[in-house]
Amino acid sequence: MNKLIITTDLSKDRNRIIETGLEFARKLRAEVDLLTIINTNLDYIPADIGINFSDQWEARKYIAEQTLEAVKQQYPDLPLNVVVLIGDPKEDIINYAIEQKAAVIVMGTVGRTGLSHAVMGSTAEYIIRHSPIPVLVVPLQNELH
């Protein structure tokens, strides 16, 4: 069976990425891993959800798992796996897809340009340039500049 990796940073646009990936997975009759990488390069304090955690990484991982499990429950007809890792998304998405022998990586991009691109970098661009596995990019900005 084919394996498809749908990766998201769990931003507000995640549903569009996931729905596009799942539509593609149905056509391929593929098993799907819903993947998010908790970025260790970004430090923030997670919202208080009423559960005490020993560190922010444990809390962030728990929140991500709960978010993706809720998505999984919406699609009981599809073979979906939830995978949450902590690390560097640029490297870890590629490494995970290679380890899983994925047929395709599905991800979104906001298409930053100029200074914001130079400062923030682009995970999607990095993966497109370095992945030995095909990448389906879901554009998240529909406006022409």
Span 14-44, pLDDT tens digits: 999 999 999 999 999 999 999 999 988 765 5
b/e per residue 96-121 (b: at least 16 CB within 10 A): bbeebebbbbbbbbebbeeeeeeeee
User: What domains are defined for the chain?
Assistant: 3-139 (3.40.50.620)
* Contact indicator for 71, 16 with CB cutoff of 8 Å: no
Structure confidence at residue 116 (pLDDT): 44
The C-alpha R_g of the chain, in whole angstroms, comes to: 15
- Residue 130, number of CB atoms within 10 A of its CB: 12
The CA distance from 107 to 49, in Å, is 28
Contacts of 28 (CB under 8 A, 6+ apart): 2, 4, 103, 104
Better-scored residue on pLDDT, 112 or 108: 108
Mean pLDDT for 115-141 is 79
To the nearest whole number, what is the mean pLDDT of the chain?
A: 85
61 pLDDT more than 70 = yes
Structure confidence at residue 43 (pLDDT): 55
Positive/negative CA dihedral, 15, 17, 22, 23: positive
Instruction: Tell me the two tokens of residue 16.
Output: 């569009």
83 pLDDT more than 50 = yes
Structure confidence at residue 48 (pLDDT): 53
Of 92, 86, 117, give the one whose Cα is nearest residue 105. Answer: 92
